Amino acid sequence: MAAATSSKMQLFSADDVARHKTASDCWVIHRGKVYDVTDFVEDHPGGDDLILRYAGKDMGEIMDDPIEHSHSDSAYELLDEHIIGRLPTTDAEKEALKERAAKGGYSGKDDSIVITDDFHPDETDQSSDYKQNKFLDLNKPLMPQMLSANFSKEFYLEQVHSPRHLKHPARFFNQDYLEMFTRTPWYVVPMVWLPIASIIFFRSATQFASNLAKTPLNASNWYEAASKPTQFDTGVWSVALTQTAICWAIGVVIWTLLEYSIHRFLFHIDNILPDKPMFLTLHFLLHGVHHYLPMDRLRLVMPPLLFFLLSYPFTQLAHTIFPHAVANGIISGAFSMYVVYDCMHYALHHTKLPQYMKEMKQYHLEHHYKNFELGFGVTSKVWDYVFGTQL
C-alpha cells in the first residue's frame, strides 16, 4: 500500500486519537499529524513503554526534545511512514468533526475524510513521496517516466487514486513545445467553445427557418438568408428560434447524460483496463493524472483538441439520427452545457461557491478523496441516483 500522503489525510479529533492507547492499537500525535504506530511499538529502540506512555496523546514534547530523547532524521522519516491523518486546523474542519462526533464519531472506514467548504490539501513532499512509493518522481517530467515504466496495473491504479498536490503545475514533458499542449487555463474553454456553440445555434435557426419558408439553403446562401431575415416573415423566425431553443434544451439534458457516461465508462474503465504499459499511459493522460494531481489548475479542463476528438463521433451520430436543423440545435445545447461543465469543474476544485455548488463541490471532492468508483456527476447528481452510483 502507498504511504498516506498529506493530501489524502483524514481528519481526526484529539478524542478520536485518545481511543487508541494500547499496545495492540496505538495512535500518537506529532506536530498536528496523527500516526498509527501499532506495528512499531515492539520494535521501538527505546522500549515499548516509552511509546505507550504517549499512546493516544501528543508526543511532540518528548519527540522533539534532544535532551530527553534524541531522534535522528531517519527516525522522523520512519514516523512519516505511519501517518494516517491530521488534527483540524480551520473552524470549518472543527465544526465538521463536531458534526461527525454527534453521529457517533470516526467509523474506522477509509472513506471518512471530511470535505469542508474551504478544503484544500497540504502540499506533497515530492522527494519523500517518490522515496516511499517508487511511482513517479514529481521533481521530473511525468510522461517520460510513464513511457519507460513497467508498473503493474494494480500498483498504477493504487497510486493514481492516492492524490498528490503541488504548489505549481506538474511538468509533463522536457520540451516546451510539447508541454504547452498539456496545459489549459479554464478560460480557454468558454473562449473556444461558446462562439462555436453560438454559430451552430445560429445555423440551426436558419435551417429551421428555411424549412418553414420552404427556401432551400446551401453552403453559399445560408449566411445571406440569416443576415437578411426580412426575406422570411417574423412568424417564421419566431417559430424557428423556438424550435432551435427546444433542441438546445434537449442538448443540455443529453450532455448531462454524456458527462456521466463518459466519466464512468471511459475515464474510469479501471476494471477492464488492459495491464499493459501503453494502456496505463493512455489512462494516465485521459483521466488518471486528474486523480493523481486533482488540484493542478492547468489540467482541470479539457484541451480543445481532446474535446474535439471526443465529441466528433457524437456530433456525427446526431447528424445521422436527426435532421440537420435538429442535430445542430442539440449539438449547440450540448456544447453550451460542456462549457458550464468544465468551468464548474474548475470552480469545484478552486473557488468558493454559492450553496448548490458548495454541495456539488463536496460531492465531487468525495469522488476524489473517498470513493472514485461512485459519484460520477459533476454538474448534477441526477444520473448517479438514476443508476445507483451516488455517494
- 44 is an annotated ligand-binding site residue: yes
- 287 is an annotated ligand-binding site residue: yes
Instruction: Please tell me the distance from the alpha carbon of residue 301 to that of residue 297, in angstroms, as a whole number.
Output: 8
Torsion angle of the four alpha carbons 167, 136, 142, 371, in this order, in degrees rounded to the nearest 10:
-70
- 30 is an annotated ligand-binding site residue: no
Cβ atoms of 164 and 293 closer than 8 Å? yes
- 349 is an annotated ligand-binding site residue: yes
**What nine digits make up the cell of 127?**
522527494
Please count the CA atoms within 13 angstroms of the CA of 355 that sit on its side-chain side: 0
- 291 is an annotated ligand-binding site residue: yes
- 283 is an annotated ligand-binding site residue: no
Task: Name the residue among 285, 269, 275, 299 with its Cα closest to residue 372.
Answer: 269
Q: Is 34 helix (H, G, I), strand (E, B) or coil?
A: strand
Instruction: Please tell me the distance from the alpha carbon of residue 300 to that of residue 342, in angstroms, as a whole number.
Output: 8
CA distances from 85 to 5, 23, 53, 161, 207 (A): 9, 19, 21, 17, 59
- 120 is an annotated ligand-binding site residue: no
- 367 is an annotated ligand-binding site residue: yes
- 319 is an annotated ligand-binding site residue: no
- 82 is an annotated ligand-binding site residue: no
* DSSP-assigned letter for residue 31: T
The owner of cell 448534477 is 380
Q: Provide the 10 A C-beta neighbour count for residue 113.
A: 18
User: Which segments are annotated as binding site for heme?
Assistant: 44, 71
User: Which segments are annotated as binding site?
Assistant: 44, 71, 263, 268, 287, 290-291, 345, 349, 364, 367-368
User: Which segments are annotated as binding site for Zn(2+)?
Assistant: 263, 268, 287, 290-291, 345, 349, 364, 367-368
